[in-house]
Structure 1
Amino acid sequence: MMTRATIQNKQPELFSYTSDELGEGAIWHAGRQSLFWLDIPKHRLYEKRFDSAGVKPDAAWDLPEMASALAVDEGGNDQLWMITDRSFGCFSLTSGAYQPAIQLGLPANLRANDGSVAPDGTFWFGTMEREPTGLHGSVYRITRQGKLSLQLSGIGIPNTFCWSGAQPTLYLSDSYRQKILAYECENGHIDQSSASLFRDLTGSSVTPDGGAIDENGNLWNCLWDGHCVAGYTAGGDLIENIALPTPRPTSCCFGGPDLAHLFITSAEGGRKQHAGEQLLPGAVFRVELPFAGCKIRSFSMAGN
């Protein structure tokens, strides 16, 4: 049984420092033993190997569209799937070329946000307003045959997109409302009647953002303006907060040779540093934990 004592004194270390305006989309690539992540507003993709020295990324690419979430390609190590503000497609890590597979056709005031690969191999993502004013976002599903379908509407800023269990359960945050919800999924679709409130942070100073599931079925969730990643049991009880030297952690994933390191991105933009603060906003951190995470699922599409 995991207790607070099992992760006490686990100090995050600086993994990479790129001063990301909005670092997001952290994903572990086992085949390359690398972490990939995005700086959304700067249209940048980064890669840093697990064992590379220093705090600079090993590679960086300028993207033609504003990507917000990534997926490892099932077919090999030289490309990634990404959702952008305009499309879903494949990015070549060799040539740096991006090939859209599906045009989203979103209104100009909307963009894609977080996303992940579901247990059935489909890719799920959310949309949000570029300047959020209400519950105008949605959740979509993309099959391996390239079919795009609406799963949920009436959400503000969809985040987290973590899957747990055989059912499975989808943990979906609405950062606009400061809530984490849990949904049961059947035959690849959300059962909206199953929605339950997993964690309510309404009225607090923190906002749930990206997350990851460990081998015990616990959810680790980045708390924007919370200086930490919070760990919750499947029942929604707090296990522990992993304190960070950055106010706005944004996304996290398990990685490393044994999937026992939690990688955490953060945001530099939108917050002024106060005198005396020793912070690293916009950095990527790594913390070794006494348990492993779940393997990140890959994606493929017929004809690609």
Structure 2
Amino acid sequence: MSIDLISPNRVETAVAAADILGETPLWCERTRKLWWIDIDGQLHQSFDPETGDHQVSHHDCRFLGSQALTADGGHLLALDLRLFRRATDGSPLAELCEVETGFDNRLNDGRVDARGRLWIGTMDNQLHRRNGALYRVDGDGKVTRLFEDVIVTNGIAFSPDNRTLYFTDTRRHRSWAFDFDLDDGTIRNGRLFADYSASGERPDGACVDVDGGVWTAFFSGGRVVRYRPDGGIDRVIPLPVTNPTCLCFGGRDFKTLFVTTAMKFLDHQQLGAEPQAGHLLAIHGIAQGLPEHRFQTLP
């Protein structure tokens, strides 16, 4: 089957952010803003495409590892190994829970399911030990460990019918699909979805479109790939940067693919050749996405 190779000329810079490690873009349909983080810069950022306004807030941590939208209009932020609620009124962060202890890890990729629970994983800070795990965090802060033996958690996404959870371990070079029970909040029957262990390529963040396609950014691979639900590849988008990290659909009609990128691990020569490295990129009109689910805090 042929693969649709989309021209890199369609890739534009939305924000010249110069992120060290840009990650976890999320579109908020209420504010009509794109939110994302710079993990190593400890920055939580927003971009309004209509006005061009770019807002940045800094947080006191070693790594600002992930974020999620909340039902009350705020955000859930992952600072190192703890989750905090960030309200819209600028009040101090309120701790929800500590997800993990005892390892040289940090929180990384996460996503909220249709019942308002956060699925988030940890990763080894040295990028080679299988210290990490996948967790489910309920609205009351209860943490459930689902499986371990993970180096770098990434690529958490749910199919549009809420029957499949996708999960990637970037440093094991593999992605899996699990049967997902939305009512019980459980997963089973894990099977390989994509395997790059032979080539050593690094699938990173992911999102899904309305047709169930799984879009994945390849860190150190300079491209975005769309998988069909059966695991076959039908679209490839070469990017003008080596390190795309994560992606989401946004804009008024959810037809803009936003891609975060990183300057991390690039030397001076590479940075000179890649002026868009670390920027927030945008590609218009290639597919349609879905609104993000929001974390639902319970009393």
TM-score (norm 1): 0.90
The structure-2 alpha-carbon separation of the partners of 1:133 and 1:9, relative to structure 1 and needing over 3 Å to count, comes to: closer
Structure 2 residue 67 is the aligned partner of structure 1 residue 70: yes
Determine the C-alpha separation between the residues in 2 that align with 1:96 and 1:229. Answer: 37
Unaligned runs of 5+ in 1: none
**1:108, CA displacement in angstroms?**
5.1
CA distance in 1 between partners of 2:149 and 2:54 (Å): 40
Aligned mate of 1:203, from 198, 210, 220: 198
The residue that corresponds to 1:18 in the other structure is: 17
- Structure 1 distance, partners of 2:42, 2:83, is 15
Distance 1:94-1:10 versus aligned 2 partners, 3 A rule? farther
Q: 1:58 to 1:279 in 2, by over 3 A?
A: closer
Match of 1:294 among 290, 293, 298: 290
Identity %: 24
For the 8 Å contact 1:10–1:288, the answer to whether it is kept is: no
1:210-253 deviations in whole A, cap 9, x for unaligned? 01100110000000111111111001111111121111000101
Q: How far apart in 2 are the matches of 1:207 and 1:9?
A: 20
Q: Tell me the distance in 2 between the aligned counterparts of 1:143 and 1:301.
A: 8
1:140 matched to 2:135? The reply is yes
TM-score, normalised via structure 2 length: 0.92
Task: Using the TM superposition, name which of 60-69 and 255-264 deviates more.
Answer: 60-69
1:244 matched residue in structure 2: 239
Q: Distance in 2 between matches of 1:119 and 1:110?
A: 27
Work out whether residues 167 and 184 of structure 1, in 8 Å CA contact, stay in contact via their aligned partners in 2: no
Partner of residue 51, structure 2: 52
Structure 2 residue runs without a partner (length 5+): none
Offset, 1:46? 0.7
1:152 match: 147
Identify the residue that residue 277 of structure 2 maps to in structure 1: 281
Task: Tell which deviates more after alignment, 36-45 or 274-283.
Answer: 274-283
d(CA) in 1 for partners of 2:8 and 2:264?
Answer: 29
Quote the offset at 1:145 in angstroms: 2.4
Note the 1:189-200 alignment, pairs <5 A: 189-191=186-188, 194-200=189-195
* Number of residue pairs matched by the alignment: 294
How much is the aligned-residue C-alpha RMSD, in angstroms?
2.0
In structure 2, the CA distance between the partners of 1:93 and 1:120, relative to structure 1 (3 Å rule), is closer
Instruction: Give the structure 1 partner of residue 176 of structure 2.
Output: 181
Q: Which segment drifts farther, 248-257 or 151-160?
A: 151-160
The superposition leaves residues 105-146 of structure 1 with CA deviations (integer Å, 9 ceiling, x where unpaired) of 423511111000012221010011111222221000011222
Please report how far the alpha carbon of residue 302 of structure 1 lies from its aligned counterpart in structure 2 after TM superposition: 1.9
